[in-house]
Structure 1
Amino acid sequence: MTTIYNRQQYLAATIESILAQTHRDFEYVLWDDGSTDDSLAIAQHYAAQDDRLRVVAAPHQGLAPALKAAIAATTGTYLGWVDSDDLLAPTALAQTAALLDTRPDIGMVYTDYHVINAQGQDQGLSKRCQIPYTKDQLLLDFMTFHFRLLRRSVYDQVGGINPTFERAEDYDLCLRLAEVTPVHHLQQPLYYYRQHASNVTHNQLAMIHWSYQASTQALKRRGLDHKYAIDLHVTSQFSIRRK
């Protein structure tokens, strides 16, 4: 599943990475959140060629409400999503689904990922992948980043995406999932996270704020707020160097 808002530059590559999966049995919902560029037309072009793809054209709501609605439009036992500017490795679905198939105790599996730049050039393994997963460490480090495949049953159990989160809605979801199910780290890079100007710069402060909200709420849910508090530090530093 992919939510889309004005991603015409990258969307075709994202869709093609899904269609290249070695695991062929899947449904792929493309939810357009009121794009004003050619994104919807691109999605419809691919859907016309492959009946596993279904396009929903919706009014603009914002990321979290669109994501929640897109998930509600799917029917699969397992849920996974790929951002509309990223890429999925060919075996990502096969490997993550196989783990959930053979390990009924696990509610979510996540993979390592490589960072790519705007042109698609590989920048290497993310440092985030090197952080060992624990339920408690997740309060401070969002290591369960990409790619994630989870059981619909545990998604429903925790109430799904919180549409009031303007950013970090997936971090909030992962914190709640960690409270009800074991999470497995598949230590293979099966996702390519694209960094470019529109997702790196102007969203950072909002991401920090909403991540802080998610962690603070998790402390309260876990009954730890009387012992611990999370301090938020946002710093900036300038330096002068010789040219």
Structure 2
Amino acid sequence: MTNNETTSPAASLVMTVYNGERYLAEAVESVLAQTRRDFELVVWDDGSTDRTLEIARDYAKLDDRVRVVAAKHLGRTPALKAAIAETAAPYLGWVDGDDILAVTALEETAAVLDRESSVGLVYTDYVTIGEDGKARGYGNRCRIPFSKDRMLLDFMTFHFRLMRRSAFDAAGGIDESFRCAEDYDLCLRMAELTEVRHIRRPLYYYRIHADSISQRMRIEQIHCARDAMVHALERRGLSDRFEIDLQIRGRYSLRRRKTNG
């Protein structure tokens, strides 16, 4: 599995993980299986207390494209920003430590950036999977046609994204003031400065499970996303005409109680 290439990587892929021992091996292996091989993978251990760091270091021993950073616990957004600062390749993307990247994801997205210099961000469709890795369905967000204006209300550039670093830097990179929804805020800013392309194939497998950040922080994500929308309206000179009307609606159902009998 060891990579013997001496050339600089074309793409930097980042994976930030906190206590992710359950799914990390599968996530890392999906990156290492990419058909386009000129990349580096930076695994940022965000102060895990389980076997996450040990697992990551085992892969670094097997493949020199894997670089592991052991850090104190910072939290999702600061960790992502710090991990990206460790990279330098002209293309940039990230994979969550509990998700799976299709084997051609990097090849197909990088081909768009190689071919079209005006494009700064390319994204793919995705499939949701369960804890067991079995497909649950086609991603809802990627069904929405891309437009810079529609993105003000719908985050369709959800997964997988590969960015031209120059466009990422021009947009200002990760805004650490966002505790969550930092990727939505970034994509809004990038869409204002560069062309975006959509690959209509599911090249990312997004895992839904009880411990995922998206489940624990759903309400906070909604409020952070609203803040990203408000900032975008201000940047685009639309805040005097529009405001965000946020409605959070509960959905309830009955279920049978568990009995001890």
Q: Which amino acid aligns with 2:217?
A: N
Q: Please state how far the C-alpha of 1:241 moved relative to its aligned partner.
A: 8.4
Report matched runs for 1:79-118 at 5 Å: 79-118=92-131
Tell me how many residue pairs correspond in the alignment. Answer: 243
Cα 1:241–1:66 shift into 2, 3 Å:
closer
2:182 equivalent in structure 1? 169
- Cα distance in 1 for residues equivalent to 2:153 and 2:109: 25
Question: In structure 1, what is the equivalent of residue 220 of structure 2?
Answer: 206
186, 194, 197: which one pairs with 2:199? 186
Identical amino acids, percent of aligned pairs: 57
Choose which of 199, 220, 241 in structure 1 pairs with 2:234. 220
Q: Which amino acid aligns with 2:157?
A: T
Whether 1:236 and 2:244 are equivalent positions in the alignment is no
Please state how far the C-alpha of 1:235 moved relative to its aligned partner.
Answer: 1.1
- 1:121 counterpart letter in structure 2: K
Sort the Cα spacing of 1:241 and 1:37 in 2 relative to 1 into closer, same or farther, 3 A: closer
**Structure-2-length-normalised TM-score:** 0.91
Query: What is the SS of the residue equivalent to 2:62?
Result: coil
Stretches of structure 2 lacking an aligned partner (at least 5 in a row): 1-13, 257-261
Name stretches of at least 5 consecutive residues in structure 1 with no aligned partner.
Answer: none
Instruction: In structure 2, give the amino acid aligned to 1:16.
Output: E
- 1-structure distance, mates of 2:254, 2:80: 43
2:81 to 49, 64, 68: 68
**Aligned position for 1:23:** 36
CA deviation after TM superposition for structure 1 residue 81, in Å: 0.5
RMSD: 1.4
Tell me the TM-score normalised to structure 1 length: 0.97
How far did residue 201 of structure 1 move?
3.0
Q: 1:8/1:241 Cα in 2 relative to 1: closer, same or farther (>3 Å)? A: closer
Question: Is residue 47 of structure 1 aligned with residue 54 of structure 2?
Answer: no
Cα distance, 1:71–1:240 mapped onto 2, change above 3 Å: closer
Please report how far the alpha carbon of residue 237 of structure 1 lies from its aligned counterpart in structure 2 after TM superposition. 3.2
2:216 counterpart SS class: coil
Corresponding residue of 2:11: none
Once residues 188 and 42 of structure 2 are traced to their aligned partners in structure 1, the CA distance between those partners, rounded to angstroms, is: 25
